[in-house]
Structure 1
């Protein structure tokens, strides 16, 4: 219900803002909202050639293809004059996001189809884990710990193994693997849900822990920083781990208190201390490496572990081939069967993703997001918050709505302020330490047709806020001299 109303608010407020801008002459044309593409110039006016000063007329007419661009400085948007059929169209600035129709197209071809391919492959592997009995063994090992966090899940339930694989994939920065494991976990948890239209406590806990995004190897962030010629691309790694870990603990506490989980349990405390010890130990190891060794370690660990997971799954399935015979199938046929289920899941979630991305497209292109972002930056500046911090806030604000949008702001921040500036580094930490909240809710709950998400959205947004505050504190601690 909350998500539905929030979706309507985004759509309606953005449409109203666009219409007001059109009738108050803020916009010359609003066609870009429907048909424009990201980074394309925006049409702001159209005039007859004789309405321009004579020097400008001459420049336009003498320019190649009658297209004259004015680029006074790098801080202001280019202004482009295009002469055609007795009129000159004036373009200035670039579009922040794809329009509605390109977004609809991109949501299918750039998001859903690749996602369906990932789902097909990893759901095929998961079918092997199920039939071979590997998932059952993993669930038995972890059930004592998960029983404290998810008291409603029966002992040795298969959802435990799926959630474990999802957390592990996120932990290692394996987004392509994390989503299929997560969707399978939600599907498995739904079998235990007595009210199929309403999110269960276990589903809410899983979603909030997933959204906190505990990450050990921020591979993509390091790659973007390396492309921007950062002196040490991996220097944000430790701040990313600390921020995402605090966000995960915050999610556990916020949901746990609401669900009255017993945090005094010895099993839970031992489990948490073990995770903390493992993270600290790995951080000490990484801290002892030189720059080249760190880059080699971070670029290869995730890939090696993913290959290891695939290899071990296939090897274990081969060892337990008798179980496949008992099920009157083969290893390959079982993989194909699981892959088909992955394709079905992709088709199911498409409408939910489409609806959310369409609303975000309107929100960005209306100018409402930029206005809110600038307003928040002004408020922060009045509280004497460093301009370097306020310049990075658009990444934090957009992250819950759009991963690609916030990534664009992050890259822009590194290009304009430098990858080794506080703004560039903080933008990287923001991008790494939170999840695309609205997209994730739409995908995960959409895959099982849950309509009432209860307090999931509010909790996930609060966790996002905690991650933002933590990121600012950690970045200031590490990088402000």
Structure 2
């Protein structure tokens, strides 16, 4: 419903600005708006088709990992951490396994598998919920961490960047150079959400598994900082791209190798997952075209320039740099709509260039934040929860901290 109002507002506001420009003597404004609508509709369709191959490839590889048991092994590895932050869930309860599998799927880019697993976890958590119309502590922790979950591989963002780079005829472009910055951004958001909910629920974050998790990740980031911080931004970007490509390729090879070792039919598993990837890529066409067309109307008339200019003026007034402002609407939209934020990200990349600082920052923000309102509505609605308590507040805290963290990380790596 919120996205409906935003979509209408883009058209009405754009039309109003166009009328003002017409009265000021700009006789070509409506021709430009109409041309922009048709061009943008084609762009949205082309981008979606460009995703078909990449999404089919990646979900095919993920299906191999799932059938080979790699996803389940990963879930068991992180289960000690989850048992500490969900003390109300009895040991061995099915909800624990579903939650771990949901987070594992999100980390590995299995969006189509993560949602049904998450809904299954909510139904199992509802079984042990004493107040059926009120969100339990475990439900709130699960959903806040779900909206702020760590993304190991931002598959769709990388795929969109690669598609746009081809469209912009950029040779030698490495779409995976946002891998490490996005990972750090999602970790910041995850920690913010975890601390916010733990503070309300009075959960201690000093147990051995918790400290091992935070300490291990912090040590990894410190090691990477020690390696990269002495290099110029351009060289650092190349090394990050190399690291991202190496990690992703290693995961692909590992999944295939384990599948072969366990004697599953790797080829058929890949084809099964690839069919799902085709469906996912085709499914986003109407959503992407819809939001891109609305944004085109608002931008072509100059409405977007007024909004970005106003934000830039406010930021500049307090003495901060303003070159991140064009990417900021991506993070603000992401809390409301993933497809809307995706459209804004594409718009930034098309306007400033996919390899520009603004284009990279928009991609990092898209991969570091989540659709809080959508997730809470769908997951709570699936089990008829009416009283969500502090879930939205903690979710928005995680999102806003994650947005700020993504901007800082973007400056750290690419400026």
**347-356 vs 152-161, which moves further:** 152-161
**355-364 vs 284-293, which moves further:** 284-293
| 8 Å contact kept, 2:144–2:193 | no
Instruction: Pick from 276, 299, 304 the counterpart of residue 369 of structure 1.
Output: 304
Distance 2:105 2:226 in 1: 25
Matched with 2:10 is: 14
Matched with 2:266 is: 331
Deviation of the 1:240 alpha carbon: 7.9
| 8 Å contact kept, 1:212–1:248 | no
Work out which of the two has the higher radius of gyration on C-alpha atoms and give 1 or 2.
1
Q: Which has the higher contact order (CA 8 A, sep 6+)?
A: 2
| 8 Å contact kept, 1:139–1:161 | yes
More helix by share: 2
Change (3 A) 1:150 1:407: farther
Q: Secondary structure at the match of 1:30?
A: helix
Q: Deviations over 1:384-405 (max 9, x none)?
A: x25xx13442232345432223
| 8 Å contact kept, 2:56–2:276 | yes
Deviation of the 1:297 alpha carbon: 3.7
Deviation of the 1:276 alpha carbon: 0.9
| 8 Å contact kept, 1:208–1:460 | yes
Q: Deviations over 1:426-462 (max 9, x none)?
A: x577446422689967998999998999898876665
Change (3 A) 1:283 1:154: farther
Matched with 1:394 is: 326
Task: Give TM-score, length-normalised by structure 2.
Answer: 0.67
Q: Secondary structure at the match of 2:212?
A: helix
Distance 2:59 2:355 in 1: 37
Change (3 A) 1:279 1:434: same
Distance 1:186 1:31 in 2: 42
Distance 2:362 2:255 in 1: 32
Matched with 1:32 is: 32
Alignment of 1:73-112 (within 5 A): 99=37, 101-111=38-48
| 8 Å contact kept, 2:59–2:276 | yes
Distance 2:368 2:381 in 1: 16
Q: Secondary structure at the match of 1:315?
A: helix
Distance 2:53 2:412 in 1: 42
Alignment of 1:165-204 (within 5 A): 166-167=106-107, 178=109, 181-194=110-123, 201=140, 202-204=142-144
| 8 Å contact kept, 1:119–1:342 | yes
Matched with 1:163 is: 103
Distance 1:339 1:241 in 2: 25
Instruction: Pick from 205, 219, 226 the counterpart of residue 145 of structure 2.
Output: 205
Change (3 A) 1:285 1:103: same
Matched with 2:365 is: 434
Matched with 1:319 is: 261
Matched with 1:378 is: 313
| 8 Å contact kept, 1:124–1:337 | yes
| 8 Å contact kept, 2:234–2:414 | no
**14-23 vs 444-453, which moves further:** 444-453
Q: Secondary structure at the match of 1:193?
A: helix
Instruction: Pick from 54, 57, 60 the counterpart of residue 118 of structure 1.
Output: 54
Alignment of 1:29-428 (within 5 A): 29-36=29-36, 99=37, 101-111=38-48, 113-149=49-85, 154=94, 157=97, 160=100, 163-164=103-104, 166-167=106-107, 178=109, 181-194=110-123, 201=140, 202-210=142-150, 245-254=187-196, 262-287=204-229, 297-321=239-263, 324=264, 330-383=265-318, 385-386=319-320, 389-398=321-330, 400=333, 401=341, 402-408=344-350, 411=353, 427=358
Distance 1:447 1:346 in 2: 21
Q: Deviations over 1:175-233 (max 9, x none)?
A: xxx3xx233222322233339xxx9643542232358999xxx9x89xx9xx99xxxxx
Deviation of the 1:354 alpha carbon: 4.1
| 8 Å contact kept, 1:145–1:267 | yes
| 8 Å contact kept, 2:185–2:402 | yes
User: Which consecutive unaligned segments of at least 5 residues does structure 1 have?
Assistant: 37-98, 170-177, 229-235, 325-329, 415-423
Change (3 A) 1:138 1:238: closer
| 8 Å contact kept, 1:213–1:244 | no
| 8 Å contact kept, 1:139–1:160 | yes
